[in-house]
Amino acid sequence: MLDFDTCNAARLRRDPAYDGVFFIAVRTTGIYCRPVCPVKPPLTRNVSFLPSAAAAERAGYRPCLRCRPETAPFCAAWNGTRTTVDRALRLIDEGALDGGTVTALSGRLGIGARHLARLFSEQVGASPLQVAQTRRLQRAKRLLDETTLPMAEIAQRAGFGSLRSFNAAFSRLYGRAPSTLRRRRAA
């Protein structure tokens, strides 16, 4: 955390370089703001500085309705829908769609399945199921190349429900059975 004088000078200048770096808590109003807040600056004796919006809320302050500090840079709300998509991609990587549904995934994210599909279409260019399928195939291909595991084990470790679904997906993408790639590598 920066020292009081640095934060206070940035607050009085409304310096955008400090936006999201610290938050201003005003004791007399019980509100916390961003350094760029357009309201009349409170007296210096009435302010303290906190490192995050969460810290300000934990201390009992409520967000300013003018500068909306909960949307300051470097917080999840500021990143908007990109944060939701990034979180969905992490959950997909962890196997959320290997045994679950898009509806269950969207529920974990706090949004509807249609909205999740729309976000993926806009930002990823594919549906959540297509992304999960591609990631499964990438894991399977890596296991094929780097191990001598049986095909059923590769299918299971890559997140496929069965060897049959693994073979079908692999054949659709690569135009050949996974075993042909393994034979080629062995030769």
How many whole angstroms separate alpha carbon 26 and alpha carbon 151?
A: 63
Q: Which superfamily does CATH assign the domain made up of 130-186 to?
A: Homeodomain-like (1.10.10.60)
CATH of domain 4-76: 3.40.10.10
Please give the sequence-ordered ranges of beta strands (E in DSSP) within the chain, or none if there are none: 23-26, 31-33, 47-50, 62-63
The reported pLDDT for the residue numbered 173 is 83
The reported pLDDT for the residue numbered 13 is 95
Q: Residue ranges of the domains in the chain?
A: 4-76, 79-126, 130-186
How many whole angstroms separate alpha carbon 55 and alpha carbon 30?
A: 13
- pLDDT tens digit string along 30-49? 999 999 999 999 999 999 99
- pLDDT tens digit string along 66-97? 888 876 665 555 556 778 888 899 999 998 99
Question: Which residues are known to be catalytic?
Answer: 33, 37, 64, 67
